[in-house]
A and B are shown apart, each in its own frame.
Chain A
Amino acid sequence: MNGINGHTPEGKYITLISNDGFEYVVLREATEISPVLRTMLRSPFSEARTGRCHFPEIRAAVLEKVAEYFHYWFQNKDKDDVPDMIIPVEICLELLMAADFLGLDAKPEPTDREVNRGDNLAMIAARME
């Protein structure tokens, strides 16, 4: 099944869309860091089918930084002495909220039990469709 912009469920890129309509295309692998995006893209919902994720809470300037962060993280995976990413002070509060929303804090994976629960939900949703 081909989605919009040629995205397929297994496509290499996904699109992030801000509330004011700007679109950012990022590597699917790079978004692995966000548990929220990961669940979104594995769910049976339209995000997974089209590879397009809408963020009605995040404006373009902030989403752009988030997209930049995804690639920054991906590039510096397991590297020592990572240079700091430049974040303007004006957006850092919004970025903080976006990071919280997308689960971009460093936290451990939920235990197996919780993961199973998530899978069950996905299964139920799939059955309902």
Chain B
Amino acid sequence: MADEPTLPALPKLRHHPLSEESRRKHPRHAPPSLPSTSSDPAFFSSDDDPALDNYEEQGRRKKRYKGSWFDQQPALSSDSFMDDDPSYEQQQHLKREFLKLDSGIYMSGDDTDRRTALKRVAPLVQSISIREVIARERIDACIEHGRESVDLSDLGLESISDQTLEKLNHIALIPIVDKDVAFEQKDAKIKLFLSKNKLTRFPLSLLSVEYLTDLSLRANGLTEIPPTITKLKNLKTLNIAQNQIRYLPYEFLQMFRKGSKLRSVQIQPNPLWFIKDWYTTDWAFKQRVLEAKQYTALPGSFQSDDVSVRIGEKDWKGLTAAIHLRSRVEFTDSARRVHGFKLPSTDEAQPMSILEPFYRLRGPPELHNQQSASTARVMNNKGALSLLEMALHVLVKSSEADDIYQWLERTGQEGPGAVPDRVLVTMKDAIEFARKGWDLKCSVCGRKTVVPMTRWVEYYFLRQTTVHLDSETGEESWGHGIGGLNQGPQPELYPFLRYGCSWKCVPATIKEPSNFGEAEISWRVSVSRDPEGARRDQVVVGSVSEDEDQGGASVVNDIDDDDDDDDDEGEDTIIA
């Protein structure tokens, strides 16, 4: 046996948790000095050579080892479970606590300290404001009584924690228990009123409340609506009036499509990006759009129900959206340099003065040389992301992103290893986007992006439309309800911001400038990716073109303002 190679050491002693407990509770009942003969037997015969000291009799005290079999060290006395050393508590305080990395596998001898584990949990409980406590109590009351309508208005809430909103998911209806009433399990229809608070950011955890049907965020300080609002599949009414909103997310238009339950939206008043000289610019396009029937005939027009549904039925009522105008496209590279046209900032209410007809798309002058390797990523939504983007992505996803940025802002400006300003600006933008908690996706190709490379605003008419079908003549009459949409300087016209992940992801252009409402409309990118929408559009286009459209020769004025003369020197690139 002596010539066998010796293994490092014996696996650690196993001890039975129960025996420990009982010994602790009744120390006096334990025999005063128990010879330690109750150890586990050695695993291998060759083991007893190096581990003999484990079998030495030392009264109650055993030498114990910790660590894995290949890296064993004698256990410290404080780690020993049988140690009744009075200095134990003291040592606990003196010792700094490190979070031990958990391998995820429980080893009985692992010495994970159970006593400290409990202590660590405590600070995780967040402190919440008194206002939020009131909010929580109200939600609790609603859960208790099975009420669906949760009124949290006028509480002065500046933010609302996820834990509070999470409770909304627990609201369930109390079924009516009565004679001759069949038991019915109904889903709750939660109505949440958060109006007249001081929220500056849309509470993202609201989006996980599945049965939210009515949501009022009126009179808060919101500046943006997250694109992920489409997660609220059961939403029927939405009120976001009296906020600081400049634009709506393009994805919100999804809620005007088939299958959406949204029936009422209240958006105005809000300081939206309005269009300068809307009343004075004489666009034939505009007048034609105002004709009710042509609503759905335009590219990118949606309505909240399938057209075919209404043929069998008498009346159809729902929300419709129709594209009307588009701003110029803002082109940015991955280092956040803007090329050419720049969208107004969200800080001030500026009119959107730079619009562009749909048949034309102006790019920045740099678009001329498209072929070289480094433009590949800008111009292409294929291939690898740039290294800068990838590094940014990792950085903003890490939990230290904010700290790193603040540290850089303080110290990074000087010294040999200084971070250049442009990198800081890029980081700031990326962190800003990440902080919003959106998973930013390209609105054209659907790819995930860290920082968008193109942005533009599309103006849509949003209307509540009623269609009445005369059952005898088969004639349809269209009408528009008011429904709270017709307020503000530009009734019914709402800006929607779109993001693109590369310079190739730009708005669709229409080839024929004179025939907007026509079936020959051809699009370049976006609509073809939505077969459902394309089909629906065709249906309507067919029905429209027969009687309307005498004014087909609508010349769309180029109303480019002269503010952007810097890149106007005949270098415009029309992507077609």
Residues of A that sit less than 8 Å from B by CB: 32-35, 66, 69, 72-73, 76-80, 82, 84-85, 87-89, 92-93, 95-100, 102-112, 115
Contact = CB atoms under 8 A, between A and B. Distances in A.
7 contacts: A72-B384, A84-B393, A92-B394, A96-B388, A100-B423, A106-B333, A112-B369
A106 B488 CA distance: 40
Nearest to B395: A92
Given A33-B374, A100-B335, A108-B503, A76 B383 contact: yes
A4 B208 CA distance: 62
B382 interface: yes
Contacts, number: 127
Contacts of B334: 105-107
B378 A106 contact: yes
B19 interface: no
B389 A109 contact: no
A34 B370 CA distance: 16
Contacts of B364: 108
Interface in B364-378: 364-370, 372-378
A106 B389 contact: yes
A82 B383 contact: yes
Contact of B369 (A32, A76, A108): A108
A89 B395 contact: yes
B333 A108 contact: yes
Given A105-B333, A107-B378, 12 more contacts: A78-B380, A84-B390, A92-B398, A95-B387, A96-B423, A97-B419, A100-B388, A100-B420, A105-B426, A106-B374, A106-B385, A107-B333
Which 9 pairs show the lowest CB-CB distances between chains A and B? A108-B366, A107-B333, A106-B377, A104-B387, A105-B388, A106-B334, A99-B387, A99-B388, A105-B335
B382 A89 contact: no
B363 to A, nearest CB: 9
B462 to A, nearest CB: 35
Interface in B383-419: 383-395, 398, 400, 404, 419
Contact of B382 (A79, A111, A112, A115): A79
B427 interface: yes
B339 interface: yes
Given A92-B391, A96-B395, A107 B383 contact: no
B369 A107 contact: no
Contacts of A77: 376, 383-384
A111 B365 contact: yes
Contacts of A93: 391, 395, 404, 419
B374 A87 contact: no
B383 to A, nearest CB: 5
Max chain B C-beta neighbours (<10 A), residue from A32, A35, A73, A103: A73
B298 interface: no
A100 B422 contact: yes
A35 B372 CA distance: 10
A73 B383 contact: yes
A106 B367 contact: no
A57 B173 CA distance: 65
B222 interface: no
Max chain B C-beta neighbours (<10 A), residue from A33, A106, A107, A109: A106
B366 A111 contact: yes
A67 to B, nearest CB: 11
B453 interface: yes
Nearest to A74: B384
A33 B386 CA distance: 9
A104 B391 CA distance: 11
A44 to B, nearest CB: 21
B283 to A, nearest CB: 32
Max chain A C-beta neighbours (<10 A), residue from B369, B370, B391: B391
Given A73-B384, A104-B387, A108-B378, A96 B333 contact: no
A76 B174 CA distance: 57
Contacts of B389: 105-106
Interface string B201-221: 000000000000000000000
A35 B378 CA distance: 14
Interface string B421-433: 0110011000000
Contacts of A110: 366
Contacts of B376: 33, 77-78
B386 to A, nearest CB: 4
